[in-house]
Amino acid sequence: MTRVYVTALARTPFGKFRGCLSSLDAIQLGTRLIDGLLERDEYPELLPESVQGGSGLLGGSHLTTLRQSIIHSRLPNATPSQGVDRACCSGMSAISNAATWLKAGSARKALAIGVESLSNTPVLLQRGNDRRISSLSLFDPLLLSGRVSDKTIAQYTSEEALKYGISRPEQDLWALRSHERYFAGKQAGFFENQIYALEVGDRLISDDEGPRENSTSARLAQLPTINGSTTITAGNAPGLSDGAAGIILSDTSIGESAEILDWVQLAGDLQSGTSIPAAGIIQVLRRNQLTLDDVEVIEINEAFAATPLVSTLILADESGTNLEMLRERTNIFGGSVAIGHPLGASGVRIAIQAIERLRARGGGTAVCAICGGFGQGEAILLQLA
């Protein structure tokens, strides 16, 4: 069976909503990211034979956003592509799809990218039941609502967290640690190899815009809850973000290449968002006869601070692992609460972060997991010899 390696990686800085990257739509972000990956390709003689891309909301708000990004990029126009829509899982699904192509022998090299420009997501004008202009109504997709529940995502996330005994103060503390860990990583130079700086107008953007170095417990505790929830605030949830992330996958190891060992896609109950990353990790580890003791690096996307808190609690209970020690080695350089959460890009971002953590420690095994809209989940298993 063909083995699959990550031979290059890059992500843009992540920008705040209507912030430093808002002048770039999803097509432009995708183009910049693809060209950045190609610049880092250590084996440029072999061109990528496929591009798999994830976008979490409205497909990037354009017709075949990924295809348009390729046409504007340095890739040949003949490069086929496929977009993925699994909400926040989309970027990790792009990795899974690209790895599947390589495992099947359908390609020797592929790109997997995730892109999101929430700043440029349009407000929709919905048609009424008749022709009168007064029957039209505006709808904002950024509310992230659906037709499967009368509760907001924040509401049922808060309910699930409380069901597992995860309080508002615990969520605020994790959020604070996410920012603190991010800045510890930044001071150590952890993000330098990951970030591909972008020229925007007359500025060179090389830093994430969302992390708050002056965040404190007192400030977080003063924030009101949002969207009808009882524990979720703007402080313990990531803000709306813009950004892109990508990797090059190859059937040949080049230099210090992490290997993609396995992946799982799963779905559960509508309100299982905080717990389904744990289910994905358990499933992918069992399938490979591994336990948490065999894993050195754990990345769980912080869709909310509640997500890694609930998932690590479940993992500790299931494995008999010490909970605090497990949390100490999860997201040790921060997560989406600090960095930002461009929906389609985050699944790739946590894979990149896991690979860089493996490189920093000289090898090992990593597992990454993410939740997606309405009970979806995904996990990926990586190894660096």
- Predicted confidence at residue 234, as pLDDT, reads 96
Handedness of CA 351, 88, 158, 165 (dihedral sign): negative
Amino acid letter, 209? E
CB contact set of 347 (below 8 Å; sequence gap of 6+): 54, 88, 89, 90, 91, 92, 93, 94, 95, 114, 301, 368, 370, 378
Amino acid letter, 121? T
Rounded Cα–Cα distance for residues 211 and 25 (Å): 22
Handedness of CA 288, 290, 291, 293 (dihedral sign): negative
Rounded Cα–Cα distance for residues 377 and 184 (Å): 29
Rounded Cα–Cα distance for residues 252 and 301 (Å): 29
Question: Within 13 A of 339's CA, how many CA atoms are on the CB side?
Answer: 34
Q: Domain 5-122+238-384 classified CATH 3.40.47.10?
A: yes
| Structure tokens given for 353 | 């972060």
- Predicted confidence at residue 130, as pLDDT, reads 63
Residue 4 in contact with residue 103, Cβ under 8 Å? yes
Rounded to whole angstroms, what are the CA distances from 186 to 37, 181, 332, 358?
A: 21, 9, 12, 17
Domain boundaries, the chain: 5-122+238-384
CA proximity to 307, closest of 344, 345, 346, 360: 346
CA proximity to 244, closest of 48, 73, 123, 42: 73
CA proximity to 252, closest of 89, 40, 26, 46: 46
Tens place of pLDDT per residue across the chain (385 aa):
799 999 999 999 999 999 999 999 999 999 999 999 999 999 999 999 999 999 998 877 888 999 999 999 999 999 999 999 999 999 999 999 999 999 999 999 999 999 999 999 998 888 766 666 667 788 888 888 778 888 889 999 999 999 999 999 999 999 999 999 999 999 999 999 999 999 999 999 999 999 999 999 999 999 999 989 999 999 999 999 999 999 999 999 988 899 999 999 999 988 889 999 999 999 999 999 999 999 999 999 999 999 999 999 999 999 999 999 999 999 999 999 999 999 999 999 999 999 999 999 999 999 999 999 899 999 999 999 8
Amino acid letter, 175? A
- Predicted confidence at residue 270, as pLDDT, reads 80
- A 10 A CB-CB count for 219 gives 13
Nearest 5°: the CA angle 294, 166, 298 is: 20
- The distance from CA 231 to its chain's CA centroid, rounded to whole angstroms, is 23
